[in-house]
Structure 1
Amino acid sequence: MLSALEREIREVAASDEPLPALPYTALREFGRTGERLGYERRYFGRRARLAALGLLDAPGDALDDVVWATCDEYTWVLPAHQSMPVDLFACETAHTLAELAGRVDPVVGERARAEVGKRVLDRFLDPRPMEWEGFGNNWEAVCGGAAGMAALAVLDDPEPVLARCRAAMRRFLDGYGDDGGCVEGVAYWVYGFGYFVYFAEALRERTGEDLLDHPKVAAMAAFPHRVRFADGGHVPFSDTTDDPFLPAGLLTRLAERFGTPGPDGVPSFHADHCYRWGHLSRTLAWSRPVRSRPVETTSYLPDLAWVVDRGEHGHGFAAKGGHNDEPHNHDDLGHFVLRAGGRNVLDDLGAGEYTRDYFGDRRHAFLHPSAEGHSLPVVGGVPQRGGRAEVLEYAETPGGLTFALDLSSAYPSRVVRRFRWHRDGRLDLRDEFTGDVPVEEVFISRIRPEARGGRVSWDGLVTLDHPGFAATVETLATRDHHGRPDTVHRLRLRVPPGHRAVDLRFTCH
């Protein structure tokens, strides 16, 4: 089960390439241009070598050198977070070095412990609030969990640090609803909940205290499986992807504790481009075959207002309500995904490339988080912005489900969207409007649609029947989360004024 991962670890550890440099010119690039990837690729290249060497049974002098070099770094904080003395990545680095300090030359280990204390743990002993305390999202769990595990590894008396970490974990849990859903998407569930679990298990091993024995945690453990389609793709709502990195060790431990599905396999060493020690070390330590119970065909998460149906014959459907002021928010109330032929045909673009502006006031000028990067109506020339969806109806039917949302708070006039999903691959979509405003129905895909008369086809996988509205197709060049070129196709159906309702039928083939 682990052989391919172990081979990749040995290959990376055996590299004779020098560690990537972290020059000042790379560090300052974010401040000058807002670009992150240049520095971060160098930084994570160093973390890859550190993790690979640390995972070997007998790392030798090479691990001494890379730990020493990590201690030499000007900062462990990424440039995008330089306003913070301690960020996610500083805490992750502290965790890594703390758990490796006993495996290196004593002089190197002593220096590593000192740097972990000076750069991270001392800040947890300072009563002044840290910037991320109160976020209630993945930051709380990652920073608190990584620092807590570092404290357990290197401090004679970790309790003062652990007290602050427990408080972070309480805020993290408070950020979830009882349905266990992560508003930030599956990738951030892995990040935040993963570090929550790693810390909880380290704490349980040391003290017997069990943070997983919390009423929300079982539902949280089930989240990625409830938003997964039958053929393996995940719903990519928010800043995530339809093929997220799912650490095998994490899924194994959750299956053992809660009966959730175990991993399909062990991801590549390179599947997490940040090369996080928490994920990698626990995958090696915890992965094993496990038994688990099946997941229901239809999942409804009322706190998120997400519905996912795994369908039949490779068809799948998901739609969301929620609100447009969520962490990693997209303007996407009423947006939906249709899956056919092993692909999300009517798609969600997931996370775009992270830059300074992507997390600033111009966020919704970027395609991925904007309303016009989602399958939503434009009403009176105004795309969706702001607001909260009100769930009017959710019901399972013998052959599928119905789901209705009032989206009016996100538009200049009343808008209601109704879905009727038939598990054999049919989706009836009805949008209701008030007034005589012009409306455009917009649909997003990475497959170019062909529009002829009253029918649109996405490569024969999905067809749309409509009343003969004027159709245009736009092809948009953008970049994905990793800065790679990405092509997106946007279908616009122009609805003449006076239509108080639009009825459309999608069919998966």
Structure 2
Amino acid sequence: MAGAAAAVGAGCGALAARSCTPCQAGGLWWGQLLAAIQELLAEPAWAWPAHVRDPSGIGPDVIDLFAAETANLCGELVSLFGPWLPPVWLAVMRQRVLVGMVEPFLAHPERYGWTAKPSNWNAVCHQGLVGAALALGLESDSLQRLLELSRQHLQLFLDGFSAAGSCLEGITYWEYGFGWFVLLNEQLELWSGGQQSLLAGQEEQISRIARFGSSMLLRGGLLVNFADSRLDMPPRASLLMLLGRRLQLPESTSGGLSLYRQLLARGLDLHAQRCDLFYLTRMLLESPSAEALATASEPDGADWIDREAGLVVVRRFDRQGRCWELAVKGGHNDEPHNHNDCGSFLLQVDGQRLAIELGAPEYTADTFGPKRYTLLATRSSGHSVPLVNGQEQAAGRESSAELLEINAGTAAVEIQLDLTHAYPAAAGHRRLLRKIQLDCNAACLTVEDELWADEPCGLESVLITASDDAEVLGLEALPGSQLAGKECLRFRDNRGEELTAWRWRWQVVMPPPSCDANEPQCVGFMIRPPGY
């Protein structure tokens, strides 16, 4: 699936690049653009073959993410180049989108399962249909019907975020789902001259959701990449600038400026995932001035503490002025794009990755099937969570963590989680607590796991890192604990690239010969990087 997705992305990227190429003598760019559009219109269907029930893999009336994005692309092409495109092509676009997609949707919206789900599909598919309908001139009555349905369905999408605004699908899908919702609203407001808006009466809720994006930015262009999120794939800078401007959110504008500066420093990769026309046009239109870019700084947002979602992100500075960024994950193991990761955490110091999340695995049939939790990136053995009597965490809503305590001081942060229910009964434990303490005055992070059991029960504290050098990481066992082992992990990330990580395991120095049900077994470690 990853290879095929890359091929589709390459085609969209090539079309986008030709669309944004400066005019040159001889008109070579225009001929290349026309050839790319002709190739797009010649495709028998735009839906992803895996989403089509017909054995042929061709479903012209199937509306999935890919079909919806292609419909919107047609609308974008007409908006940009309509007067210069062959009239027969315009007719083909209107036929395929308005007659082949919008009409069946209006006739039987209940047939499209994504309309009744709070996932990113809801927002992306509606954006594709409505955005294309606005650009391609859908007849008035049909357009109003489409807008009414979209408002109804999109409310379910918005209700899928926590009350504080967290996206359980992770930051990558916050950008994809919520980002497309915001872009659809911009299209609707521009089309209607501000008379219609998806934000009307909901600015407070939508502002909370918007703040989630900038709160997940880390220094060095990295992200809080829980769930199926890419570490190195930040939200679109243009999206954050739009949110800052439309909702008067200075933190979004600051995040957008930071991302634009990073983009300017590394250059634009036209072969990157989702580097399409929709991206490039907004990237250019929202580009800040040189004066604004000069004010850009590294992310330094307020704490994000969401007990409902079980998510904590804090930033603190030590005495040397270095920024410690800590993210802790509670929640449960039946979340969208779920990983069995209750109690996991990541830690960066001035952009140096000390405790990591593997993030999104390579997307294959196994990733979204019954073998999902055999994959390293999604099972608990690929996360910095305890191992109890050799048992990993179980999947399911009942497998959960509770945030018991959060003390967020100016120089110290203490987080305590109850992980008892995250592990199956076969683990033989009675209670499991995890305490994570960040002390910027001492420049260290300590992690301690406490286990209560009625019978002798093994406990290992686990840490996932990108480095195999204990001195570079500053790893130390807590008193009574010892390093039990270190393993090299190899896995394929979302781009299909093979990467290496390391799993460190600590256990008690001398397991007790018997078990006192009232006394916990304590295992833990400290991260104190050298020079801090």
What residue is the counterpart of 2:135 in the other structure?
153
What residue is the counterpart of 1:96 in the other structure?
73
CA distance in 1, matches of 2:216, 2:42: 42
Conservation of the 8 A alpha-carbon contact between 2:411 and 2:440 = yes
Conservation of the 8 A alpha-carbon contact between 1:250 and 1:279 = no
CA distance in 1, matches of 2:151, 2:283: 24
DSSP-derived class of the 1:310 partner: strand
What residue is the counterpart of 2:414 in the other structure?
402
Conservation of the 8 A alpha-carbon contact between 2:48 and 2:66 = yes
Shift of 1:77: 1.3
What residue is the counterpart of 1:26 in the other structure?
none
Distance 1:57 1:113, change over 3 A: farther
What residue is the counterpart of 2:26 in the other structure?
none
Shift of 1:68: 2.0
CA distance in 2, matches of 1:447, 1:61: 49
What residue is the counterpart of 1:415 in the other structure?
432
> Aligned letter for 2:304?
S
Of the three residues 486, 500, 506, the one matched with 1:473 is 486
Matching of residue 305 in structure 1 with residue 290 in structure 2: no
Conservation of the 8 A alpha-carbon contact between 1:391 and 1:404 = yes
> Aligned letter for 1:418?
K
> Aligned letter for 1:399?
A
DSSP-derived class of the 2:507 partner: strand
Of the three residues 161, 184, 187, the one matched with 2:172 is 187
Structure 2 counterparts to residues 349-428 of structure 1, below 5 A: 349-386=358-395, 387-411=399-423, 412=425, 413=429, 414-424=431-441, 425-428=443-446
Of the three residues 32, 37, 41, the one matched with 2:2 is 37
Of the three residues 399, 424, 431, the one matched with 2:449 is 431
Shift of 1:423: 2.8
CA distance in 2, matches of 1:212, 1:287: 23
Of the three residues 196, 199, 202, the one matched with 1:209 is 196
Conservation of the 8 A alpha-carbon contact between 2:217 and 2:234 = no
**Over residues 225-277 of structure 1, what are the superposed CA-to-partner deviations in whole Å (9 max), with x where a residue is unaligned?**
21223454221111112222322221211121232223324442437413343
CA distance in 2, matches of 1:40, 1:228: 26
Single out whichever of 301-310 and 226-235 deviates more from structure 2. Answer: 226-235
> Aligned letter for 1:444?
I
Conservation of the 8 A alpha-carbon contact between 2:467 and 2:473 = no
Structure 2 counterparts to residues 65-84 of structure 1, below 5 A: 65-83=35-53
Matching of residue 445 in structure 1 with residue 432 in structure 2: no
CA distance in 1, matches of 2:172, 2:163: 19
Matching of residue 51 in structure 1 with residue 16 in structure 2: yes
Matching of residue 226 in structure 1 with residue 220 in structure 2: no
Conservation of the 8 A alpha-carbon contact between 1:269 and 1:280 = no
Matching of residue 504 in structure 1 with residue 491 in structure 2: no
**Over residues 441-478 of structure 1, what are the superposed CA-to-partner deviations in whole Å (9 max), with x where a residue is unaligned?**
221112114xxxxxxx2x52332233342521111221
> Aligned letter for 2:280?
L
CA distance in 2, matches of 1:57, 1:178: 45
Of the three residues 104, 107, 115, the one matched with 2:96 is 115
Structure 2 counterparts to residues 486-505 of structure 1, below 5 A: 486-495=499-508, 496=511, 498=515, 500-505=521-526
**Over residues 72-91 of structure 1, what are the superposed CA-to-partner deviations in whole Å (9 max), with x where a residue is unaligned?**
11221123322481101100
CA distance in 2, matches of 1:292, 1:423: 25
Conservation of the 8 A alpha-carbon contact between 2:122 and 2:154 = yes
CA distance in 1, matches of 2:301, 2:169: 22
Count how many residue pairs are aligned between Structure 1 and Structure 2: 466
> Aligned letter for 2:233?
P
> Aligned letter for 2:147?
L
Of the three residues 121, 141, 162, the one matched with 2:123 is 141
CA distance in 1, matches of 2:483, 2:408: 34
CA distance in 1, matches of 2:472, 2:15: 47
Shift of 1:358: 0.6
CA distance in 2, matches of 1:111, 1:237: 42
> Aligned letter for 1:298?
D
Shift of 1:175: 0.5
TM-score, structure 1 length as denominator? 0.86
DSSP-derived class of the 1:508 partner: coil
CA distance in 2, matches of 1:265, 1:305: 27
Of the three residues 136, 146, 158, the one matched with 1:173 is 158
DSSP-derived class of the 2:10 partner: helix
CA distance in 2, matches of 1:74, 1:187: 30
Distance 1:392 1:297, change over 3 A: same
> Aligned letter for 1:145?
Q
Conservation of the 8 A alpha-carbon contact between 1:335 and 1:374 = yes
CA distance in 2, matches of 1:281, 1:232: 22
After superposition, the CA RMSD in angstroms is: 2.3
The unaligned stretches of length 5 or more in structure 1 are 1-35, 450-456
DSSP-derived class of the 2:45 partner: coil
CA distance in 2, matches of 1:274, 1:143: 16
DSSP-derived class of the 1:189 partner: helix
CA distance in 1, matches of 2:418, 2:259: 41
The unaligned stretches of length 5 or more in structure 2 are 24-28, 54-58
Conservation of the 8 A alpha-carbon contact between 1:64 and 1:105 = no
What residue is the counterpart of 1:251 in the other structure?
240
CA distance in 2, matches of 1:344, 1:229: 10
DSSP-derived class of the 1:401 partner: strand
Q: Percent same amino acid at aligned positions?
A: 31
Shift of 1:160: 2.0
Shift of 1:297: 4.4
Distance 1:271 1:265, change over 3 A: farther
> Aligned letter for 1:220?
I
CA distance in 1, matches of 2:234, 2:408: 31
CA distance in 2, matches of 1:393, 1:423: 19
> Aligned letter for 1:396?
A
**Over residues 347-379 of structure 1, what are the superposed CA-to-partner deviations in whole Å (9 max), with x where a residue is unaligned?**
100001000111111101000011000011111
What residue is the counterpart of 1:87 in the other structure?
64
Single out whichever of 259-268 and 144-153 deviates more from structure 2. Answer: 259-268
Of the three residues 479, 484, 487, the one matched with 2:497 is 484
